[in-house]
Chain A
């Protein structure tokens, strides 16, 4: 699960969290007792449909502003370690 979440966790962290999360999941499991088969799910609580904006070109953030907060930059782009070092 930690790999899926892209989180590096130490052995101790995994152990501690497994205990804590099991306890939380025990509480959460109570919604399993409800009869919900005929109930539709709610993804969004307010009725909004077709909230589209006009498809017009707009100025984007200037490149140097977008890059200003990056930990590493190279050739006007974000610099990252190689995916396959």
Chain B
């Protein structure tokens, strides 16, 4: 597509590509907006929407984000914010998995829920929201329960999985599936003023340790509910972890659990001994 490349280069302002040029290129060459974005980033032209990313994420890394595929399991409190932030970050493909529709009790915190989306599938709302905020990002919706039986199909070719579930046994199943498939997993959980985040690479067992004494039912969220700010914060930390894993930058919360208490503003970083298999002994 040399003509497309020339078209984009002509319309770039230095190395910034305005949105109208991306739209015009898609129309003129009858290609998708994701295809235009990949062409631009491959030419080291930065879509202008990402110009405030650039000090943290240079154009080559923006291309790596665009070429990555992240699965978000659960599109409620945590998952909604994660999807919003991944789309604005410029992750090219988001797999959104959730069987539920929005209900009124979701409105206090779930960013994809509005009075007009009540009764609508959460994954459909995710598709519509991302199409609205960043049409160069593709959302693949699966309106199903994640389960070990469908895990391999749902998570095929995924670079990172985000655990935004609300069920402890399903979280444990997901950790097993990700270990089997060799996919890094970013875990976040919330309840009331409290939350936790950890990142697990294949062979690690932090999540299994966190829930090793679980017998049945839910955690503190059963008593404490979920206000608006806890999912927003925990989802943001999860998204930062996803970004670092894709880019190979920084220090993820591997073999660590960040424990968050917003009521007393206490943050605890707990160290886990690496699992022997994971460190290759």
User: Is A bound to B?
Assistant: no
